[in-house]
């Protein structure tokens, strides 16, 4: 990340919620003859810088795809390294995030996680729940189809218990059964590394998101790249299915 001073982006032009698919750690490492885990380690540093930059720019919500429900199919050693990185990230960075006014939220399936990881995630949410500067939503053991199915189960339970009528399930009310119902939909989704797909990330929530795909591998992503993505977002005309452009959310 460059240390050059940055011209502030006007608050009205800043997307409220940015989702990020942090892709390309492995290719970054391979292109340097390094083990894949080195790419993930550098990816965590990029994540730290990006959270700081997002707060400074005035983004209010950032959702990061840090471990997908499909990532379990990677070699056990790489899964172990990713779990270790999450543990270290929470142990080392939680106090700093809290001090900076960051609220941490987790989406994804927690029941299958090792108990100490599930505990750390809960601890991060509990400690930071009163913070208001920036909300960091960590998608961990997350898949969007799985989240939607969890939502269907919650809605069915509400109907079975008489708290909801089946006819009252609409797109709006159903959103309330997803993992983080109080978080607004992302205005902008960025995917690094040149791949152009969602890979089971926020499928429901991304209905009206703008997508920006950047060729940079995640470890090389920096504040300038984030600002460039926001610049591209600002050029887009968001109509939400109507005829007249609207400012997001």
Q: Return the residue of 20, 44, 69, 124 that touches ligand FPP, per CB under 6 A.
A: 44
Residue with Cβ nearer ligand FPP (17 or 40): 40
For ligand FPP, the binding residues in 193-222 under the rule CB under 6 A are: 193, 218
86 forms part of the interface with ligand FPP (CB under 6 A): yes
- Name, in order, each residue with C-beta under 8 angstroms of 26's C-beta and a sequence gap of 6 or more: 36, 39
Q: Would the CA dihedral through 217, 65, 126, 185 be positive or negative? A: positive
47 forms part of the interface with ligand FPP (CB under 6 A): yes
Residue 173 CB, shortest distance to ligand FPP, in Å, is 32
210: left (phi over 0), alpha (psi -120 to 50) or beta: beta
Number of residues that bind ligand FPP (CB under 6 A): 18
**CB contact at 8 A, 190 and 10:** no
User: What does the block give as tokens for 3?
Assistant: 């240390």
Phi, psi of 207 (to 5 degrees): -50, -40
- Name, in order, each residue with C-beta under 8 angstroms of 79's C-beta and a sequence gap of 6 or more: 71, 72
Active-site pick, 3, 13, 25, 71: 71
Residue 96 CB, shortest distance to ligand FPP, in Å, is 14
CA-closest candidate to residue 20, choices 216, 201, 219, 241: 201
Instruction: Please confirm, yes or no, whether 71 is among the known catalytic residues.
Output: yes
Residue 223: C-alpha distances to residues 46, 49, 198 (Å): 10, 8, 22
Residue with Cβ nearer ligand FPP (128 or 248): 128
26 forms part of the interface with ligand FPP (CB under 6 A): yes
Q: Return the residue of 19, 43, 186, 248 that touches ligand FPP, per CB under 6 A.
A: 43
What whole-number distance in Å separates Cα of residue 103 and Cα of residue 52?
13
Stretch that binds ligand FPP, among 9-17, 39-47, 107-115, 197-205 (CB under 6 A): 39-47
Q: Return the residue of 17, 40, 105, 223 that touches ligand FPP, per CB under 6 A.
A: 40
Residue with Cβ nearer ligand FPP (117 or 158): 117
User: Computed over its alpha carbons, how large is the radius of gyration of the chain?
Assistant: 18
85 forms part of the interface with ligand FPP (CB under 6 A): yes
Summarize as ranges the residues that interact with ligand FPP (CB under 6 A): 22-27, 40, 43-44, 47, 66, 71, 82, 85-86, 89, 193, 218
| Catalytic center residues | 23, 71
């Amino acid at each position: 990340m460059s240390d050059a001073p940055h011209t502030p982006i006007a608050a009205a032009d800043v997307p409220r919620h940015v989702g990020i698919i942090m892709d390309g750690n492995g290719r970054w490492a391979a292109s340097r003859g390094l083990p894949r885990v080195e790419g993930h380690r550098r990816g965590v540093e990029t994540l730290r810088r990006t959270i700081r930059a997002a707060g400074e720019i005035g983004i209010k919500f950032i959702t990061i795809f840090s471990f997908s429900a499909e990532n379990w199919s990677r070699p056990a050693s790489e899964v172990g390294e990713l779990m270790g990185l999450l543990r270290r990230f929470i142990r080392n960075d939680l106090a700093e995030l809290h001090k900076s006014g960051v609220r941490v939220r987790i989406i994804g399936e927690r029941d299958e996680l090792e108990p100490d990881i599930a505990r750390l995630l809960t601890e991060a949410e509990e400690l930071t729940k009163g913070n208001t500067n920036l909300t960091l939503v960590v998608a961990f053991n997350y898949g969007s189809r799985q989240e939607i199915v969890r939502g269907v189960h919650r809605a069915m339970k509400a109907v079975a218990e008489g708290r909801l009528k089946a006819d009252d399930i609409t797109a709006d009310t159903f959103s309330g059964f997803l993992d983080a119902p109080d978080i607004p939909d992302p205005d902008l989704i960025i995917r690094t590394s040149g791949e152009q797909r969602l890979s089971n990330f926020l499928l429901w929530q991304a209905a009206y998101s703008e997508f920006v795909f950047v060729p940079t591998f995640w470890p090389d992503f920096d504040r300038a790249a984030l600002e460039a993505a926001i610049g591209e977002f600002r050029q887009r005309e968001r109509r939400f299915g109507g005829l007249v452009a609207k400012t997001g959310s």
